[in-house]
Amino acid sequence: MSDRQRHADQIKRRARLAVQGGRTEKAGALLTELCQCEPRDAEAWFLLGAVHGEAGRLPEAVECAQRAVALRPDWPEAHYNLGQAYMHQQRYEDAANSYREALRWRPDYAEAGNHLGYALLQYDRPAEAADGLQRVLNQHPNFAEAHSNLGAALLDIGRIDEAIDRFQMALRIRPDCPGTRNHLARALILQGRPEAALEVCDETLRNDPANPEAPITKAGALDRLRRYREACGLLWPLRESRTPRASAAVNFARLAHHVDRVDEAADWLEGLLRSAALAPQDRGSLHFALGRLYDRRREFDRAFLHYRSGNECKQASQAPMEPDRWRRKVDAIIAAFGTDALAGRPRTAERSPVPVFIVGMPRSGTSLVEQILASHPAVFGAGERTEIGDLAERLPRSVRPERPYPECIAHLDTKRLREFARDHLARLRRLAPDAQRITDKMPGNFFLLGLIRLLFPGARIIHCVRDPRDTCLSCYFQQFVGAHAYAYDLEHLGIYYSQYRRLMAHWRRVLDPPMLELRYEALVERPEEWSRALVDFCGLPWDERCLRFYESKRVVATSSYDQVRHPIYRGSLGRWRHYERHLAPLLRALGPQGPEAAPADPRQEDPGVSPPTSGTPRGAEAEEAP
């Protein structure tokens, strides 16, 4: 070793000792001088970048880490440090790329894999994050933070029960795992257990009174329990926080109309939007919240500008969309479940009356329909269940791995179908052992009605239909959690809706027994008539509590939870007209058939839409009204 190298190593040792002693400025001065003297010393740049990062000098940290990577491109720790520097700058995509490079040079680098998952979550790649985090855990099963991040990814995808399992696993491994109790509380709220979420939040605040997230999550639980003033009382003081939190303002805005504080909420949101130090995800949330507030104040043009900005933030964080893939997906389903193909397919003899499937586009009234039924003492509302979708995803592995769904359906036999059906019924029974009917209101199960018919030939299926213009606009105004990439662009929404309508027309032709199709507009105009029809279709005696669904103490976990707390109202009918001047891309994509699919006057009913009069399942050709 040369004298020059020994001198450089000595300076680096002194810098490390200075850092350990809390003297970061001294360490920075030593390393800065060394980098000037030895500009090709990758380790010196690496250490100087770490010192700048520790001191909060993020641009300098990035620059030094970039120099280290350029000098030693095969050094995984240098790529990891660069990723950390990008992460602190909220440059999540750049951070993810750096973590990938670290993993390329060291595939078992657990910390890089975990942080890659976290970075992907920050720019809305939950499915990709979940896959990567699962790979980390396959190699490092006791990595608590990876369990926690995987739980967060599963929560974003909508797999709530699995997310809770991951959070609980993380806490068993490491009881103080950062952020995990807050994630767990959020998941419990979405699972419909706000009281349990409150207990988790209170425990967090007892152990860490200054925790910045626990009051926000606790306010969300109080909201679900209709304790609005308490929730606002927790959130409003956070406005003066040294580190403004968009989530606090967004949650306050969601509650504001209940306590007559809408103007205060709008001022808070607008003030935060003027801040330059916002992550794109937070900026999008603020725009969606302001859109809701201005819509409520009937300032429709102003509301639309914010909704459009919120959707642009969401779209920027998504992988590029290929709308034609929805047509190809529907083509494949129609081919696999044609009339002749269905006639020749094996199916179970399972005639259990328990499962009731409620399907349709998101924002078409599925939550309202489930709430009406779940108010009946014989019905348990299970919310949005993922089991059928999970089954379709794993079917190829169980049948023919080289044949994706739905092609693999051709290789299913009765024995396997019977096993799947019994397993699904057992899962439902565990939710509510004494219920006569259990509803699953996953809207996207409209893709899977053919599989549902093979599993449960006698299952009741309720298809919720709403004016496509109102449906699509409501989707565009909704900041969805999970995979709804079609919803962030008006043209894509129209294309997606057209393919949904094409598939539903196919199911009407081939499924037996047919579905009950329920028009949202008809339910709003004649709630008792159609509520009775729903209960009758499910083969149950009428119960007056179904008309007072808004009095139910049942907690709704979806984005419609607030609407179903109130009696049916007509304000959402024809809502698209307030925004018509902005909707040209949507209306073009829907095509000439689009707006006419549900008439402007919901009383103009097709004769086929009349409510059923007996408990025997029967259908109604409702969507293509004159």
Order across the sheet with 355-360: list the strands: 379-381, 437-440, 355-360, 460-465, 516-519
> What's phi and psi for 441, nearest 5 deg?
-105, 40
For the four alpha carbons of 404, 409, 410 and 413, in that order, the dihedral sign comes to positive
- Judged against a pLDDT cut of 50, whether residue 271 lies above it is answered with yes
Q: Which helix (H) or strand (E) holds 461?
A: strand 460-465
pLDDT for the residue 276: 64
pLDDT digits (tens, 9 = 90+) for 564-574: 455 666 777 88
> Is 70 exceeded by the pLDDT of residue 578?
yes
Q: 116: closest CA among 141, 138, 86?
A: 86
- Mean pLDDT value across residues 427-433: 90
**Residue at token pair 């008539």:** 529
On the question of pLDDT at 381 being above 60, the answer is yes
Non-local CB neighbours of 624 within 8 Å, separated by 6+ positions: 505, 593, 597, 606
The pTM of the whole model exceeds 0.85: no
Q: What percent of the chain has pLDDT over 90?
A: 58
Nearest in space to 441 (alpha carbons), one of 514, 504, 502, 389 = 389
- Look at residue 242 in the predicted model and tell me its pLDDT: 64
pLDDT score for 89: 83
The per-residue DSSP string of 178-228 comes to TTHHHHHHHHHHHTT-HHHHHHHHHHHHHH-TT-SSHHHHHHHHHHHTT-H
> 3-state DSSP call for residue 375?
coil
Which tens digits make up the pLDDT trace of 139-196?
A: 999 999 999 999 999 988 878 889 999 999 999 999 999 899 999 999 999 888 999 9
Q: Is the peptide bond before 527 cis (omega within 30 degrees of 0)?
A: no
Higher pLDDT: 595 or 377? It is 377
Please confirm whether the linkage preceding 513 is cis (ω < 30° from 0). yes
What contacts 178, CB < 8 A, 6 or more positions away? 145, 148
What was the pLDDT predicted at 556?
55
Which one is predicted more confidently, 89 or 532?
532
Residue 246 near residue 268, CB atoms below 8 Å: no
The H or E element spanning position 429 is: helix 414-431
Over residues 312-341, mean pLDDT: 87
CA 61 and chain centroid, separation: 34
Give one word for 48, left, alpha or beta, with left for phi > 0 and alpha for psi -120 to 50. alpha
DSSP labels, 98-160: HHHHHHHH-TT-HHHHHHHHHHHHHTT-HHHHHHHHHHHHHH-TT-HHHHHHHHHHHHHHT-H
**Cα separation of 83 and 62, whole Å?**
9
Both tokens of residue 31? Answer: 């390393």
For residue 545, count CB atoms less than 10 angstroms from its CB and return exposed for 0-12, middle for 13-18, buried for 19 or more: middle
Residue 35 has pLDDT above 50, yes or no: yes
User: How far apart are alpha carbons 380 and 555 in whole angstroms?
Assistant: 12
Binned at pLDDT 50, 70 and 90, residue 625 comes out as very low
